[in-house]
């Protein structure tokens, strides 16, 4: 193959070469992408997804609040997870958890 000296080429020829290479790369990359997608589709048909991915998550019942802030009744807590700050503050102030029950 004949070696090309890009330093000696005029700007117009270099730009034309650049466009040609860009379009060739785009078509080759698209063909490669299509081929890889076809291979992935074949593998997907041969190996079905694991069972835990097929099953939807079971529905859990709604958890209703069991405690509320007497000073601000809109602040509620179901008793699950991390204890809210207002519960900790009221317990430190001398209230019992039973005083906060709804």
Higher pLDDT, 4 or 74: 74
> In this predicted structure, which of 19-28, 48-57, 86-95 has the lowest mean pLDDT?
48-57
Residue 31 dihedral angles phi and psi, to the nearest 5°: -65, -40
What would you report as the CA-atom Rg of the chain, rounded to the nearest whole angstrom? 34
The total number of structural domains in the chain stands at: 2
Tens of pLDDT, residue by residue over 29-87, are: 999 999 988 888 888 777 666 666 666 778 888 999 999 988 888 999 998 889 999 99
**Same domain assignment for residues 17 and 47:** yes
Residue 4 lies in a domain: no
Residue 60 burial class via C-beta count within 10 angstroms: exposed 0-12, middle 13-18, buried 19 and up: exposed
Q: Which domain holds residue 30?
A: 9-53
**Amino acid 50: pLDDT:** 64
């Amino acid at each position: 193959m004949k070696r090309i000296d890009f330093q000696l080429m005029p700007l117009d020829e270099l730009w034309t070469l650049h466009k040609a290479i860009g379009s060739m790369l785009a078509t080759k990359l698209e063909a490669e992408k299509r081929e890889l997608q076809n291979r992935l589709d074949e593998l997907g048909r041969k190996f079905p997804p694991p069972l835990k991915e097929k099953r939807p998550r079971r529905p859990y019942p709604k958890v209703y609040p069991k405690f509320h802030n007497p000073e601000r009744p809109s602040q509620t807590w179901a008793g699950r997870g991390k204890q809210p700050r207002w519960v900790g503050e009221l317990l430190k102030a001398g209230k019992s958890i039973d005083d906060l029950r709804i």
